[in-house]
Structure 1
Amino acid sequence: MTQEEYSRAYRDMLLIRRFEERTGQLYGMGLIGGFCHLYIGQEAVVVGVQMALKQGDKIVTSYRDHGHMLACGMEARGVMAELTGRATGYSRGKGGSMHMFSKKEHFYGGHGIVGAQVSIGAGLAFSNKYRGTDEVAVAYMGDGASNQGQVYESFNMAALQKLPCIFVIENNQYGMGTSAARSSASQALYKNGEPWGIPGRQVDGMDVVAVREAAREAVAYCRAGKGPFLLEMSTYRYRGHSMSDPAKYRTRDEVEAMRRDHDAIERVRKALIDLGIDEKALKAIDDEIKALVADAAEFAQTSPEPDPSELWTDILVES
């Protein structure tokens, strides 16, 4: 990638990392309620894929969704306000961590039902094809969701109708509290689409360059009208499955080794230094991101809560 592209990737990944760290702090302070799943460690996946997309392409994902929102252009203020249940949030404070949307940025949710978003992704791809555009839909899922029945139904429909859908499995090695090696008979998830003739690739999801190149291949395949494509991103989450998960099913040494040897942000930072970017310039990016996240947290905490009348909105469509 060029120096400019590396800088963009560094900034976008760092924003997600710092935003999620602050989200964890606010959750611990009781300012965020309900379920909350952090994306720390997996930043290269969504940032790399996003670098291969264009305006109009559609995104849908699971409940581990804050990083996807930020990567597709949703403002940190609006996302944080939604997390804290404020009226200025993307779903006016009623969606919370797992259920916010942005029609403007073509982000169709976080979804709390495991695997349900994959069927929606196929539907978005169907819409693209029906309208005659060359836009693609990207449906993210975790390794745990990849074995859900509706995922294979979506594979069948997408292959049968040659839908422009990129299925992205974010294999972070653990489905909730169980190792993927213990919960899936298929250990090569990128091959799961083979019965329907869906091509797949396994990618180092801790390398934003590798992710971008694989995503470009998948996007080109879909835009050419050839049908769906499957990408398995081998990645890793540093925190527990959710904020309530102590993650005792893995050792501290395992997590520290991943941080030390495979951290995606540190890899890009080193690449920028090799390209001639000095520490002062990187510090300026760091300071900018810290200020942006601090502003988002302040905005969220000082924004009003929804009016009680909001209980009666968005529950019925009148024709």
Structure 2
Amino acid sequence: MRKTLAAAVFRVLSGVSQKPPSRVLVASCNFSNDATFEIKKCELHRLEEGPPVTTVLTREDGLKYYKMMQSIRRMELKADQLYKQKFIRGFCHLCDGQEACCVGLEAGINPTDHVITSYRAHGLCYVRGISARGILAELTGRRGGCAKGKGGSMHMYAKNFYGGNGIVGAQGPLGVGIALACKYKGTNEVCLTLYGDGAANQGQIAEAHNMAALWKLPCIFICENNFYGMGTSVERAAANTEYYKRGNCIPGLRVDGMDVLCVREATKFAVDFCRSGKGPILMELQTYRYHGHSMSDPGISYRTREEIQNVREKRDPIMLLKNRMVNNNLASVEELKEIDVSVRKEIDDAAQFAITDPEPNLEELGHHIYSSNTPFLVRGTNQWIQFKSLS
């Protein structure tokens, strides 16, 4: 005791800096390893039972989910800034507010499972393993982007992640094709096929439902219902707003998409359903986006600022997880603030890379046409120029 006190006095008198008080507090806390939480009961369609209404969150998973959701939130806000600075051109669709969806979905599947989605893809791209650098550099069209700067915001790819599709609803039939490949190869893998409430009205989505049900494919259809399509509320665009029932003969779940734990447990339930050979299942994730539909949409011409602020104050997914963790001794406020600081630095570094990394050379125009093939010649910008295509 005397030695410890003497050492402390020596450090103070000699000017040796001590650790910041917050770090000392974090280190000295005796946190719980896990806690049990009640989650909202899912509404069911053609199912006798659904996901559990209680779940366990470990401290390790909670910290991981928190950092991932904060990273996605910060990344989307940075993308908004880069777009307004004209580093990002063309289309850009942000998902801030919907972080619990992508993080909860990824927590409920295996890395070997497959995911395909719409052009609002940045968050799913991140949870599938692409760094913030790779995503932001893709948005700015740089060589270090996840699609080598060729895809931009609407066409991003990763291992077992198939975009990012620019055509509304096009990912529906493609996801069924991936699920068909899973069944054909006997891999016991599933495909998550995501689309929005606007795309739910596309005819190809109904065709995809029919084919998946007919062939009992391991396809989990996921409608991210953020209550507004392209500037239009769901009530004005859809005669049936119960999207989890839209599959008709396909079983469905309506899930609280603002609760990462609720999304995780519903996803696990749906995955088990598919892996057991029962065919497809449909999940409706009720969520909310804070930005407009795209960067050309201010997002307040068809809804009030008060509505958006009310969701931020009462249902924000990051806030909900943070309160659960702090109130149940899974983390401290200081510890989560440290994560916030590290995330901000990571995203700032990624943004700096995204505006300084060089753009692709013109010679790369024909690269990556096929995933694996011997090099072949591709006509360039005019008929007298040819480029060698590399996989």
Using the size of structure 2 for normalisation, the TM-score is 0.79
**Cα distance in structure 2, aligned partners of 1:233 and 1:20:** 20
Matched to 2:225, the amino acid is N
**Worse-matched range after superposition: 274-283 or 233-242:** 274-283
- SS of alignment partner, residue 141 of structure 2: coil
**Cα distance in structure 1, aligned partners of 2:231 and 2:215:** 36
- SS of alignment partner, residue 133 of structure 1: coil
C-alpha contact 1:36 1:242 (8 A) present in aligned 2: yes
Q: CA deviation at 1:278?
A: 1.3
- SS of alignment partner, residue 153 of structure 2: coil
- Unmatched 5+ stretches in structure 2: 1-56, 377-391
Write out aligned runs for 1:57-136 (5 A).
57-102=113-158, 105-136=159-190
Q: Give the aligned partner of residue 18 of structure 1.
A: 74
Q: Give the aligned partner of residue 37 of structure 1.
A: 93
Residue 155 of structure 1 pairs with residue 209 of structure 2: yes
Matched to 1:6, the amino acid is G
C-alpha contact 1:35 1:243 (8 A) present in aligned 2: yes
- SS of alignment partner, residue 41 of structure 1: coil
C-alpha contact 1:3 1:275 (8 A) present in aligned 2: no
Q: CA deviation at 1:314?
A: 4.2
Superimposed CA distance per residue, residues 10-58 of structure 1 (whole angstroms, 9 cap, x where no aligned partner) = 1111110000000000000000000000001011011111100112100
Q: Give the aligned partner of residue 9 of structure 2.
A: none
Superimposed CA distance per residue, residues 45-77 of structure 1 (whole angstroms, 9 cap, x where no aligned partner) = 111111001121001000000001001111111
Matched to 1:210, the amino acid is C
C-alpha contact 1:85 1:93 (8 A) present in aligned 2: yes
- SS of alignment partner, residue 20 of structure 1: helix
C-alpha contact 1:77 1:300 (8 A) present in aligned 2: yes
**Cα distance in structure 2, aligned partners of 1:296 and 1:163:** 39
Q: Quick one: which of 242, 247, 258 aligns to 1:206?
A: 258
Q: Greater relative contact order: 1 or 2 (C-alpha under 8 angstroms, separation 6 or more)?
A: 1
**Cα distance in structure 2, aligned partners of 1:154 and 1:2:** 37
Q: Quick one: which of 165, 176, 187 aligns to 2:219?
A: 165
- SS of alignment partner, residue 343 of structure 2: helix
**Cα distance in structure 2, aligned partners of 1:122 and 1:295:** 38
Matched to 2:175, the amino acid is G
Q: Give the aligned partner of residue 346 of structure 2.
A: 292
Q: CA deviation at 1:274?
A: 1.3
Residue 176 of structure 1 pairs with residue 241 of structure 2: no
**Cα distance in structure 1, aligned partners of 2:156 and 2:254:** 29
Q: Quick one: which of 291, 294, 303 aligns to 1:239?
A: 291
Q: Computing the radius of gyration over CA atoms, which structure comes out larger, 1 or 2?
A: 2
Q: Give the aligned partner of residue 256 of structure 1.
A: 309
**Cα distance in structure 1, aligned partners of 2:65 and 2:131:** 17
**Cα distance in structure 2, aligned partners of 1:77 and 1:181:** 38
Q: Give the aligned partner of residue 323 of structure 2.
A: 270
Residue 222 of structure 1 pairs with residue 278 of structure 2: no
Q: Give the aligned partner of residue 5 of structure 1.
A: 61
Q: CA deviation at 1:312?
A: 3.2
C-alpha contact 1:143 1:170 (8 A) present in aligned 2: yes
Q: Give the aligned partner of residue 305 of structure 1.
A: 359
Matched to 1:275, the amino acid is N
Superimposed CA distance per residue, residues 193-224 of structure 1 (whole angstroms, 9 cap, x where no aligned partner) = 12xx2110101111111111111110000111
**Cα distance in structure 2, aligned partners of 1:23 and 1:258:** 22
C-alpha contact 2:121 2:156 (8 A) present in aligned 1: no
CA RMSD of aligned residues (A): 1.3
- SS of alignment partner, residue 10 of structure 1: helix
> Alignment length, in residue pairs?
315
Matched to 2:217, the amino acid is L
Q: CA deviation at 1:315?
A: 5.0
Q: CA deviation at 1:3?
A: 2.0
Matched to 1:185, the amino acid is A
C-alpha contact 2:173 2:208 (8 A) present in aligned 1: yes
Superimposed CA distance per residue, residues 240-271 of structure 1 (whole angstroms, 9 cap, x where no aligned partner) = 00011022111111100111111000000001
Q: CA deviation at 1:92?
A: 1.1
**Cα distance in structure 1, aligned partners of 2:69 and 2:147:** 24
Q: CA deviation at 1:311?
A: 2.5
Using the size of structure 1 for normalisation, the TM-score is 0.96
List 4+ stretches of structure 1 deviating above 6 A: 316-319
Superimposed CA distance per residue, residues 124-178 of structure 1 (whole angstroms, 9 cap, x where no aligned partner) = 1111111001110001100000111110110011011111010110000001100
**Cα distance in structure 1, aligned partners of 2:247 and 2:297:** 31
**Cα distance in structure 1, aligned partners of 2:311 and 2:155:** 30
Q: Quick one: which of 157, 179, 192 aligns to 1:138?
A: 192
